[in-house]
Chains A and B, each alone.
Chain A
Amino acid sequence: GQNIDQPTEMTATEGAIVQINCTYQTSGFNGLFWYQQHAGEAPTFLSYNVLDGLEEKGRFSSFLSRSKGYSYLLLKELQMKDSASYLCAVRGDYKLSFGAGTTVTVRA
């Protein structure tokens, strides 16, 4: 089975940094994805990790430790438009399994 855990909600101030953790236990592992989803919209791809380490892409970075079953998404220089749900998803043998998502609220 697949078990993916991430916090339900986080709040941060504009310009700050927020780290969203994700732990997983899955049968098979072929990569971990982070998606951003604004309310009422479909998810948009943010990052992909398949090897251990940090992947940096602009203000967003994602880290993976396969031995620990752990990933985090780091959002720097937060902007109001970053208020959204962030979904951690693990690709098992053939499909993506999603966590419940972390709702990030950015305050002015």
Chain B
Amino acid sequence: GAVVSQHPSWVICKSGTSVKIECRSLDFQATTMFWYRQFPKQSLMLMATSNEGSKATYEQGVEKDKFLINHASLTLSTLTVTSAHPEDSSFYICSASAEGRGRETQYFGPGTRLLVL
């Protein structure tokens, strides 16, 4: 159990385009989903926290108008990188947790590698 998928696994796009990344919890209902970004040889940095049906909570320094998050259902959250630029190139990872699973462990998706040219 506790499987989280992400799609796509990697994407290359031109500067100025928008990219949508999907995160799905496959075998449990995720009350909360988290979006992280990881640059090479660095740790995961939380970008935002989203709860189903409500607006995402963004971490300080993360532009909410640039990184649009939608958590439309208990199994799906999407992150849209709008008007992507080369500095947005990174490894984007989502995780999901659910109340009632005892320890609120976050289960991570496989990540999406974004390269903006």
Q: Which residues of A contact B (CB under 8 A)?
A: 31, 33, 35, 40-45, 48, 50, 87, 91, 94-101
The reply to whether A45 and B49 form a contact with Cβ atoms under 8 Å apart is: no
The reply to whether A42 and B49 form a contact with Cβ atoms under 8 Å apart is: no
The reply to whether A31 and B42 form a contact with Cβ atoms under 8 Å apart is: no
User: Which residue on A lies nearest to B36, using beta carbons?
Assistant: A98
Q: Which 7 A-B pairs have the closest CB atoms?
A: A42-B108, A42-B111, A98-B43, A100-B43, A98-B44, A42-B93, A43-B108
Q: Is B17 an interface residue (CB 8 A)?
A: no
The reply to whether A45 and B111 form a contact with Cβ atoms under 8 Å apart is: no
The reply to whether A41 and B110 form a contact with Cβ atoms under 8 Å apart is: yes
Q: Which residues of B contact A (CB under 8 A)?
A: 34, 42-46, 49, 91, 93, 103-111, 113
Given A41-B111, A87-B44, decide whether A94 and B49 contact each other with a Cβ distance below 8 A.
Answer: yes
Residue among B42, B45, B109 making CB contact with A42, cutoff 8 Å: B109
User: Which residue on A lies nearest to B4, using beta carbons?
Assistant: A42
Residue among A44, A45, A87, A95 making CB contact with B43, cutoff 8 Å: A87
The reply to whether B103 and A48 form a contact with Cβ atoms under 8 Å apart is: yes
- List 15 A-B residue pairs with CB atoms under 8 Å apart, sorted by A's residue number: A33-B106, A40-B91, A41-B110, A42-B108, A42-B109, A42-B111, A45-B105, A45-B106, A45-B107, A45-B108, A50-B103, A91-B104, A94-B49, A95-B34, A96-B34
Rounded to whole angstroms, the CA-CA distance of A31 and B45 in the bound complex is 18
- By a CB distance below 8 angstroms, the chain B residues around A45 are 105-108
The reply to whether B43 and A42 form a contact with Cβ atoms under 8 Å apart is: no
User: Which residue on A lies nearest to B103, using beta carbons?
Assistant: A48
- For residue B97, give the distance in angstroms from its CB to the closest CB of chain A: 9
The reply to whether A42 and B110 form a contact with Cβ atoms under 8 Å apart is: yes
The reply to whether B105 and A33 form a contact with Cβ atoms under 8 Å apart is: yes
The reply to whether A95 and B46 form a contact with Cβ atoms under 8 Å apart is: yes
Rounded to whole angstroms, the CA-CA distance of A50 and B103 in the bound complex is 9
- For residue A65, give the distance in angstroms from its CB to the closest CB of chain B: 19
The reply to whether A99 and B105 form a contact with Cβ atoms under 8 Å apart is: no
